[in-house]
Structure 1
Amino acid sequence: MKKGTYQLHDEANFNFQLNRTLMWGNGDLEEIKTIASRISTTEDWVREMGILAKEAETNGQIPKAIGYYRMAEFFEADGTSEKSRLYNQSKSLFYDYHKVIFDKEIKRDEVEYEKGKLPVWICLPKEEIKDTVIIHGGNDSYMEEFLPVVQRLVSEGIAVYIFDGPGQGGALRESGIYYTYEWEKPIKAILDAYQLENVTLIGLSLGGMLAPRAAAFEHRIQRVVAWGIMPSFYDVILTKVPNELRILMDAEEKEKVNELVQRKMAVDPLVKWAMQHGMFSMNVETPYDYIRKVQHFEMESIGSQITQDFLLLSSNEDHFIPVELYKRVIDALPNVKSLTYKMYTKYDLAENHCNLGNSELVLRDIIHWILQARNK
């Protein structure tokens, strides 16, 4: 796994997503530096990343092409034919390139859920199984991004079931299954389908709220890893907009909320992307309806029902999540069996969202914690 964090763009989210392309998308540093200076809008991003993707594919540099197509798709507007084309191109190249892995090491499967299917990978160690882990991402990840994470866990004797849940990846793009805050429902579907007991559940980013929420209602989960601080998705997204928005939301001023958010979207690429993606993944028509729905995405009200071993991972320069929110998560967990909290910094090269500058360090810590908790 690559290591390091780079200052590539003045806008925080573009900078993070460029680093994500480099660290998790097999991007080339010099190529990414070259396009960074040409990006001011999401449209710029899609154009430049698409050019890199096509060049990489033409030159037979398939791992890069997979990542570049995926990240071009990231900022393309939801619901467009171009979004679908970029998604399908990235996914098709991914499974063609990794055909041997998915023939011999990882089984691709699907679990029936509502009126569609949740895509699942099953990866079992060849020797003794030391633990069983279920993994899912957050607001905008696809499970294909996590192939190195899956392989690292399996190398330590850990069985892995990774899936795209409602509102995520293939579940959203191919089955039209929209987000739910009741994450215990898809988790139950996975546990039932494979008759799993005594598992560790790992959720990244928004998954740092979803996984604890599921654990409160599903006690076949014995250990929880919140890879990201997320007591309340509502409070996180409101840190990116004027305080006036919270007042208008409290007053249920729908039209004024929509006007305010649309003005902010016009000048802030992060807000524009977050609102467009959020409205699509939660199947609502307006910013107000999206923000109202987001209010249900919290774990504090059910935190006292969480009784498992709990690992909370954070980073001190996360551009999405204010670091001070960690205390709210800890305060919401009075009845956990044990609580371990780790904050990563630039000295770890892991100070950014989901610690993507040093995934190997974080995975090493997670594996150590799992095996310790499992065997105590």
Structure 2
Amino acid sequence: MKGTATAFLVGILVLGAQLSSASENGDSREKMFCSSAAVYRVFQDDEFHFQLLRQLSVTSYGGADINECLITASRIDPGDFESWYLEWFAAAESVHQIADESLEKGHNVSARDAYQRASGYYRAAEFFLHGNPVDPRILQTWGKSRECFRKAIDLVPHPVEMVEIPYENTTLPGYFLKPDPSDQPRKTLILQTGFDGTAEELYFSQGTAAVERGYNCLIFEGPGQGGVLREQGLHFRPDWENVVTPVVDYVLTRNETDPGGIALMGISMGGYMAPRAAAYEHRIAACVANGGVYELNYTRDFSPEEMYALINYPDEFDAGTREAMKNDTSLRWSIEHGMYSFGVDTPHEFLIKSQEYNLKDCVQQISCPVLVVDSEDDWMMPGRAMQLYDALESPKEYMLFTIEEGAGEHCQMGARRLSNQRIFDWLDETLEGCQKGS
């Protein structure tokens, strides 16, 4: 009886911590989302709403089509992970078939467009499967996403090369994008995702935008991400400088790279990884953290009582957390994917591991200019961007995207063109004069 009561109490505490970390000054969850209430929502479920918006976001770069997404979403039972998988997988299979038929008939542009969309829909389908890390559909569905993307890049107008980057005793997968086939040295953006993205998704969200502006762009996946997690079984590590330095080494082996014009951009949790790497890797000329993260630490808003339960009653804490997960889609997904990508078996292990991801002892070592990007309605990591900005001693700029301009969501989801315009304008101006020989 005592154990059950403790588990229930811990569950309530965990939910309280999630809500308080997402809403300052004790605002309720209902109030937290009232800012987006005027926006049409297919899903009232907050996580499903955000993930649909995420897929819609790449429409302007060819990664989705609006009504394909909306029709698919209309068939999904809100909050039901299996329904989400089945409907997105069906949509992906349908568009994949269109791509194959178009390619067979020699309609290369149509095939490219369909392969790109199918890649994104397979990615979306796989997203909520990680509660069972041995589910064979994870590798199968993610693999189809990558397969479609790799068929598409053979048909795009600019060069895209699949690369393998030497890393410790293995390699990291990536894509090297160029504006044209020449080996002319250019500014080169190293682009990395965060907690749950893939390299293929980044091609549509930021990679194409870089190439349009005359950059080379190396998109890579590290431990805990994409194929490095799913195929190689490597999990996240807090010392991300040891991931990025081999990537910079690789970029500098290429004739197309201007050594004085290397920039690093991290998205979401990548907003921790990029500045962490920049603290140790001084060949980086500019760093973009979107959104900025000073410390990942998912327990940072826990009360003393919650921390006591986490440390001293881990079994009860886990039981309470799992009970709370049944009624909160975002909490369930965050914990399940966190355990999967961090390589642990229990919620308390994941939360404790997250405490290792911080810049406390190295932020002062960053010397390059840093753009810290924030979003007004970022309920996933509220307050972390300003915390990073305040701690930086290097040249820095704080860029806030607002609800009013339609860009207030985490990582400006739903406002890709506006986000890229402002961020790349800053990067253009910051790297000006850094090209080789200037």
Deviation at 1:310, TM superposition (A): 0.8
1:34 and 2:68 are equivalent in the alignment? no
Q: Residue in 1 aligned with 2:268? A: 205
Superposed CA deviations along residues 149-194 of structure 1, whole A, max 9, x for unmatched, are 2222122221211101111111111222211111101111111223
- C-alpha distance in 1 between matches for 2:117 and 2:380: 26
Superposed CA deviations along residues 64-115 of structure 1, whole A, max 9, x for unmatched, are 332221111011133210111111122112212332339x601111012234
1:66 and 2:119 are equivalent in the alignment? yes
Q: Secondary structure at the match of 1:19?
A: helix
- C-alpha distance in 2 between matches for 1:66 and 1:135: 19
1:50 and 2:106 are equivalent in the alignment? no
Q: Residue in 2 aligned with 1:347? A: 404
Superposed CA deviations along residues 232-282 of structure 1, whole A, max 9, x for unmatched, are 2114x666x888543423x44322321222112222121211111111111
- C-alpha distance in 2 between matches for 1:185 and 1:300: 17
**Could you tell me which of 196, 199, 204 is aligned with 1:143?**
199
**Could you tell me which of 202, 217, 233 is aligned with 1:176?**
233
Q: Secondary structure at the match of 1:100?
A: coil
- C-alpha distance in 1 between matches for 2:400 and 2:134: 37
- C-alpha distance in 2 between matches for 1:118 and 1:303: 26
Q: Superposed, which structure 2 residues align to 1:255-270 within 5 Å?
A: 255-270=315-330
1:359 and 2:416 are equivalent in the alignment? yes
Q: Residue in 1 aligned with 2:170? A: 116
Deviation at 1:47, TM superposition (A): 2.2
Please tell me the root mean square deviation across aligned C-alpha atoms, in Å: 2.4
- C-alpha distance in 2 between matches for 1:147 and 1:262: 35
Q: Secondary structure at the match of 1:365?
A: helix
- TM score, norm. by length of structure 1: 0.89
- C-alpha distance in 2 between matches for 1:130 and 1:14: 40
Q: Secondary structure at the match of 1:271?
A: helix
Q: Secondary structure at the match of 1:298?
A: coil
Q: Contact conserved, 2:139 with 2:231, CA < 8 A, in 1? A: no
- C-alpha distance in 2 between matches for 1:137 and 1:299: 18
Q: Closer, same or farther in 2 for the Cα pair 1:134/1:49, shift >3 Å?
A: same
**Could you tell me which of 273, 276, 289 is aligned with 2:349?**
289
Deviation at 1:346, TM superposition (A): 2.4
1:246 and 2:284 are equivalent in the alignment? no
1:317 and 2:370 are equivalent in the alignment? no
- C-alpha distance in 1 between matches for 2:75 and 2:135: 24
- C-alpha distance in 1 between matches for 2:275 and 2:215: 21
1:299 and 2:299 are equivalent in the alignment? no
Q: Residue in 2 aligned with 1:20? A: 54
Deviation at 1:14, TM superposition (A): 0.9
Q: Contact conserved, 1:129 with 1:157, CA < 8 A, in 2? A: no
Superposed CA deviations along residues 35-87 of structure 1, whole A, max 9, x for unmatched, are 35x22222221122223223333455444332221111011133210111111
Q: Residue in 1 aligned with 2:140? A: 85
Q: Residue in 2 aligned with 1:371? A: 428
Q: Secondary structure at the match of 1:75?
A: coil
Q: Residue in 2 aligned with 1:133? A: 189
Q: Closer, same or farther in 2 for the Cα pair 1:49/1:238, shift >3 Å?
A: farther
Q: What stretches of structure 1 of length at least 5 have no aligned partner?
A: none
Q: Closer, same or farther in 2 for the Cα pair 1:231/1:203, shift >3 Å?
A: same
Deviation at 1:201, TM superposition (A): 0.7
Give the fraction of aligned pairs with identical amino acids, expressed as a percent: 28
From the CA coordinates, give the structure whose radius of gyration is larger.
2
Q: What stretches of structure 2 of length at least 5 have no aligned partner?
A: 1-38, 100-113, 434-438
Q: Closer, same or farther in 2 for the Cα pair 1:9/1:247, shift >3 Å?
A: farther
Q: Closer, same or farther in 2 for the Cα pair 1:100/1:245, shift >3 Å?
A: same
Q: Closer, same or farther in 2 for the Cα pair 1:147/1:74, shift >3 Å?
A: same
Q: Contact conserved, 1:238 with 1:246, CA < 8 A, in 2? A: no
Q: Residue in 2 aligned with 1:219? A: 282
Q: Contact conserved, 1:167 with 1:282, CA < 8 A, in 2? A: yes
Q: Residue in 2 aligned with 1:11? A: 45
Partner amino acid, structure 2, of 1:222: A
Deviation at 1:230, TM superposition (A): 1.6
Partner amino acid, structure 1, of 2:368: Q
More RCO (CA 8 Å, sep 6+): 2
Q: Secondary structure at the match of 1:297?
A: coil
- C-alpha distance in 2 between matches for 1:211 and 1:42: 31
- C-alpha distance in 2 between matches for 1:13 and 1:247: 29
Partner amino acid, structure 1, of 2:203: L
Q: Secondary structure at the match of 2:75?
A: helix
- TM score, norm. by length of structure 2: 0.77
| Greater Cα shift, 354-363 or 181-190 | 354-363
- C-alpha distance in 2 between matches for 1:81 and 1:71: 16
| Greater Cα shift, 57-66 or 139-148 | 57-66
Q: Contact conserved, 1:13 with 1:319, CA < 8 A, in 2? A: no
Partner amino acid, structure 2, of 1:190: V
Deviation at 1:33, TM superposition (A): 4.5
| Greater Cα shift, 47-56 or 164-173 | 47-56
Q: Residue in 2 aligned with 1:329? A: 388
Deviation at 1:357, TM superposition (A): 1.5
Q: Closer, same or farther in 2 for the Cα pair 1:243/1:277, shift >3 Å?
A: farther
